Structure 1
């Protein structure tokens, strides 16, 4: 059973704060996917997660390294190890147009195999397949991959409507602007936690 919460987020500061609040709900073994178009606010959200986990290093997009490992603390003070994965450039990611014509099952299997190949080269494949009690996986552009790796997960989708963005000019997107963030729980544990967040 899935459970969704939809939140309107009009500013970058509020996107950061939402990430921080979600981080306070994280537990070891969690897998969280983060999807949305370029400029939607995924990095801002991830930076909020980093602050919420008390990670001292800056949270930047790991696009060119595929994954970064960062250490911090969960809300209960226990050690937290976050693996931040950016699957944007991995064949089979949410961004890959080359998989047109394949069935959903074929797309998913190809996506997961490509991601695991990439992560194996970094020594992170086992962590992603079976995160331990102190590890949290945050995957950008990898919702299709994570659906196979972890049926019990939180999917976060950020939609930015350019038409409704009154803070942009004709040449650039700003960090602010109307966004809808949909959080979808795929486990009883996340349903309980999202109810807490919604309140």
Structure 2
């Protein structure tokens, strides 16, 4: 499933719509170059899940947990990880293990930027979101189902996502 998103606002709205099909235990792995809009997608997911506080890039702290806000209809915690800096260490998988993501993965939606090749072992199935920035500032987003019922869940996304 592929979508073309013309603006940053469209990218955030895409993440918000994606949140509609997410549930506790889900792992979403975001890939794409610097500036592609990975954090913007996570901001939309956070809004869609109704989490507390502002969702910002956890590049320097590596991981942040955003608790659900009942006043905003919050239903599940969001664990937001940025593994960008882990790519520079000799054993990035050991660094990921040190984050203890497996301790929270069952009750949270876990979204990992730059996680390709590092976090897939946390679950049996996950969603890969590939984001590419085009020359005109728009983005192409491709959703790749990796096991379980992701294909069925992706087919439930609003039509505006699946252009």
Normalised by the length of structure 1, the TM-score is 0.72
The one of 92, 112, 125 equivalent to 2:93 is 112
Report if the CA contact (8 A) 1:112-1:148 is conserved: no
- Residues 139 and 191 of structure 1, relative CA distance in 2, 3 Å threshold: same
Unpaired segments ≥5 residues, structure 1: 100-109, 166-176
Return the offset for 1:16: 0.5
Report if the CA contact (8 A) 2:50-2:74 is conserved: no
Return the offset for 1:198: 5.7
Query: Could you say what the CA RMSD is over the residues aligned between the two structures, in angstroms?
Result: 2.1
1:72 aligned partner: 68
Deviations 1:20-71 (A, max 9, x none): 0011110110000111111111111111001000112100001111100111
Return the offset for 1:126: 3.5
- Residues 155 and 184 of structure 1, relative CA distance in 2, 3 Å threshold: same
The one of 132, 140, 143 equivalent to 1:159 is 132
Deviations 1:54-93 (A, max 9, x none): 112100001111100111269xx67311111110101xx3
2:7 aligned partner: 11
Which of 1 and 2 has greater Rg?
A: 1
Report if the CA contact (8 A) 2:49-2:74 is conserved: no
The one of 148, 153, 157 equivalent to 1:197 is 157
The alignment of Structure 1 onto Structure 2 pairs a total of residues equal to 157
Structure 1: distance between partners of 2:8 and 2:61: 25
The one of 133, 140, 148 equivalent to 1:180 is 140
Q: Does 1:38 align with 2:34?
A: yes
Q: What is the 5 A alignment of 1:88-103?
A: 88-90=84-86, 93=87, 96=88
Normalised by the length of structure 2, the TM-score is 0.86
The one of 43, 47, 55 equivalent to 1:47 is 43
Report if the CA contact (8 A) 1:22-1:197 is conserved: yes
Structure 2: distance between partners of 1:24 and 1:192: 13
Report if the CA contact (8 A) 2:36-2:132 is conserved: yes
Structure 2: distance between partners of 1:156 and 1:89: 19
Q: Does 1:23 align with 2:4?
A: no
Report if the CA contact (8 A) 2:53-2:66 is conserved: yes
